Structure 1
Amino acid sequence: NPTSVKFLDLQISAVSTPARDLHYFLTTSVRLEVRKKYKNQLLQEYVNTLNSYTSRLQYEGSVPDIDYIKEDLRKKGIFPLELCVSIIQLVTGDTQDLADLEDVIKAAAEAEKSGKQVDTKSWDLSKVMNPNTVSIIKDVVTDAVESGTI
């Protein structure tokens, strides 16, 4: 059962392969133990749902199959690492005491204008990491090493 819910809308629109969204979803939204145990089933369900929708919409173009999806995920294996250095702490960490980003940006701009040192400690994401966040990062790095991504 979830212990908390966070709403995160980055409002990023891009034309990309399914791998980007799948990596994002699997890394940020699926519990680690579920991802490890059921990743192939989740991917198959994604393919089944994609096929169902494209069929209902009478789409006649190419629709990725499970082999394409798995290969695409492998080729785009760097993306989960990008998540680990960008937003995973915000999505999975304990952020309730983190300063508001808009306030931090305003304070940094004011400090720069007046020639003062910019305080970066108020937005230190390493402070919000919890055991779950650390486990996800370790798993992503391990996967990247094992797959040859790094």
Structure 2
Amino acid sequence: MKIKIICVGYLKQKPLNDLIADYKKQIKDITILEIPDEKELQGMKKEGEQILNKISKDEYVIALAIEGKKMTSEAFASVLDKVTTFQTPQITFIIGGSFGLSDEVKERSNMLLSFSDFTFPHQLMRLMLIEQIYRAISILKNHPYHK
């Protein structure tokens, strides 16, 4: 399983960076790419173009969106397992910026995923996502982390 996370915005808080780095060490093949956060709503299209330029045709794309599907950690692990077993080893996650994701990014996505009806800062969402990816891998390996 190869995982890529495309994030709008840069992570500058050292405590969050340290926590994310700890999870990255434990996940074998993960890459995090950052693109600039636009300051106006019109910039969402530019963010979308930059995101789409970082995705190849064979990647399974999961975009984080408030209107996306909610699921348990076990169901999320099952999705990752099915995708990597039957479709492609490459899963790409997208975390949008302050204004969300462009329609083009949502249309390219194979799945829209929601963690909650709440809105979270994209910096915190990055940590939450990488933790859930690690948890899913742990579930698939029957590792006790999930318990």
TM-score, scaled relative to structure 2: 0.24
Bigger strand share: 2
TM-score, scaled relative to structure 1: 0.23
* Higher radius of gyration, 1 or 2: 1
Bigger helix share: 1
